[in-house]
Amino acid sequence: MNKFPLSAVSKAFTLAAMTCSGSVIAEEVKQPQQPNIVVIMADDLGDWATSHHNQYVETPNLEYLSETGVRFENGMTPAPVSSAARASFHTGKMPSQHGVYDFLAEDPKYDADWLDGEKLLSERLQDEGYRTALIGKWHATTDSKEPIRGFDRWLSYDALEAGWKNQYLHSGTVLFSRDGENEEHTGIQAQFLTKETIKFIDEPSEKPFFVSLNYVEPHFPFEGLPERLVEKYRDIAHKVVSYGGNSVLEHMSAYTLVPSDHEEKLAQYLAAVTLLDEQVGQLIDGLEGRGLMDNTVIAFVSDHGLLMGQYGLYGKINASFPYNFYEETIRVPFIIKGPEGMVRQKQVRGEFVDILDLHTTIMELASNGKGYDTSYGPGKSLLPMMKGERVRDWRQYQFSERGNARMITNGHWKLVRYYNKKNEPIDHWYDLSNPMGEAYIAEPPRQAVQDTMTKALDEFFAQYSSDEYSGLNMWNMAYPNFTTEDIIKHELWN
């Protein structure tokens, strides 16, 4: 498997050199004891849309990461909506603990520090001696322009000035906020973010670095991707996701139905995936060229997945009513590459993992053996798995939530439990072994399975929710943190 080839610029970085008496001598890059850490988070990238799961999708650099690292084939999201998932990663907590559930619109009337009182991962890493940067999408609160606590460098967006859609442009002119000051960039946004990440890494410092690198690919709009990439997929898009199919759930709106130009939109989406993959290759090249890969951990994940025609829907959890937790929505790519001795190569692990585990893993890596406390959330360190060890006491279930909807799965059965205004449960069971997938709500499993899984669901949220922020209190939550009035008034909840 060939990874994306070294660019001419990256090759020039292969040796850090200095001239001495007419000769060029390679200069060793001083490595800190703690590893450098780069977390690449995609936006709306379902695991189904990578070459690991579809032969028509080109993601050679993700394959390279997997072959030289560990791929978790049961990577999932604790919250299938952007703001909630990102808030969970940065806090290490479930939405029912931190209180962010929905897409937080950047609008002056909604401006608030939704994570007030939470200590962020970036702050914890600064305490451990790291220099930190956020590059790209933030969206865990409502103001991306102002630098968030814990980050030494900040390059995000001014959506209040340019409008929320501007930040999602794959090409054209995007209004950024560099440490709170507006700055425009015209071109391919993903390539710009990669270059800015390398610039931060190049800043002289004795400290290890942490970069939260957040591309907007392959998020809507499904346009503006490089034609050289879109052209690859136009004739084969229908082989990736065919037109048609129906969900037993209602579609949320006309915008969540499969559009008439489905194949073009899907080709653009897949082109965005390949563009993103190219950036992974460029970043690896930059790190290798600087001699930094021997002490750098790279994690590649996504905030959540996306439906691109599956079950006749476009969108994520909010593509349907009630909210769905389809596999295409909750399953995400989850790959970690690191130095020899820290990561055993060519592993494919089957345990359930999510970005809360990544939060905890980063804390263990950063603590450098001094010990760390992440009892505030459900995440567990992945380091034993990264090293190739057999882990006997790992979780049997994976959980996810959005407001009054909670999910538990054991890989065979999936329970989505909705709570009405009286906190009475409404259960949807799905048999994931059914060839029809989740097209239909299944008959419940045998009683012992029902009892075990509902008990596990109740116990998990009894531990990882608060009275103030529990999703079961969604009826009193202000827009945009939860939902619209017409949804709240729906007869299902009454």
For residue 38, give the amino acid letter: V
Alpha carbon of 252 to those of 229, 260, 324, 336: distances in Å?
Answer: 31, 17, 11, 35
DSSP per-residue letters across 161-187: HH-GGGGG-SEEEEEEEETTEEEEEEE
Reported pTM: 0.91
**Mean pLDDT calculated for residue range 252-267:** 88
Whose tokens are 């079950």? That residue is: 311
Distance CA 404, CA 430 (A): 18
Chain segment 49-103, per-residue pLDDT in tens = 999 999 999 999 999 999 999 999 999 999 999 999 999 999 999 999 999 988 7
Residue 29 has pLDDT above 50, yes or no: no
Contact at 8 Å (CB) between 45 and 355? no
Whether residue 123 is predicted with pLDDT greater than 50 in this model: the reply is yes
Share above pLDDT 70 across residues of the chain, in percent, rounded to a whole number: 90
Point out the least confidently predicted range of 26-30, 157-161, 282-286, 312-316: 26-30
Structure tokens belonging to residue 209? 């670095």
Bond prior to 60 in cis (omega within 30° of 0): no
Q: Are 323 and 402 in contact (CB under 8 A)?
A: yes
For the stretch 274-289, pLDDT in tens is 999 999 999 999 999 9
Tokens of 443: 């008959």
Instruction: Judge: domain 8-397, CATH 3.40.720.10.
Output: yes
**The predicted structure's pLDDT at residue 160:** 82
pLDDT of residue 488: 66
Supply the pLDDT for residue 6.
Answer: 40
Residues 440-445, mean pLDDT to the nearest whole number: 96
